[in-house]
Amino acid sequence: MAKKQIVEVLVEGGKATPGPPLGPAIGPLGLNVKQVVDRINEATKDFAGMQVPVKIIVDPVTRQFEIEVGTPPVSQLIKKELGLEKGSSEPTRNIVGNLTMEQVIKIAKAKKQQMLAADLKAAAKEVIGTALSMGVTVEGKDPREVQKEIDEGVYDEVFAKAE
């Protein structure tokens, strides 16, 4: 049996097209590009407006393929949650949004599988770190302050409800 080939691309959720980067990557494999694009768009429609990592696993002999959809980067999830176009260019001076702890936990749960975090609290602290670099506050406070409060147990009840 021939070795399966894996093509990894970053596409906009629900808006993959036969053009670059997808078409040139899968065209030489002999796949029906329209079928692949339709399957990717169906699988990524919930991530509309975000860049989504997609793996296309191809068996070159049978020309069968599978699609694995990753989750967008934390920064993309934060932008979607807050309805932002982009993060702040001066995150220490220019605040562009505010996340609630519930939103932080929702994003942390969505990304937990790809994170190195040992538990939900650690994953939430990673999300908060990304928020800091984007100019986004958490619960109306500096993200570093919220990370300390998580360590001190201030949000233990919120985490207990979430798990």
Note the pLDDT tens digit of each residue in 151-162: 999 999 988 888
Dihedral sign for Cα atoms in the order 15, 74, 53, 41 = negative
CATH numbers and ranges of domains, the chain: 5-69 (3.30.1550.10), 74-162 (1.10.10.250)
The pLDDT confidence band at residue 102, using thresholds 50, 70 and 90, is very high
Burial of 46 (0-12, 13-18, 19+ CB in 10 A): exposed
Q: pTM for the complete prediction?
A: 0.75
- Return the top range by mean pLDDT from 51-65, 73-87, 130-144: 130-144
Q: Is-contact 104 123, C-beta < 8 A? A: no
* Sign of the alpha-carbon torsion through 47, 51, 57, 62: positive
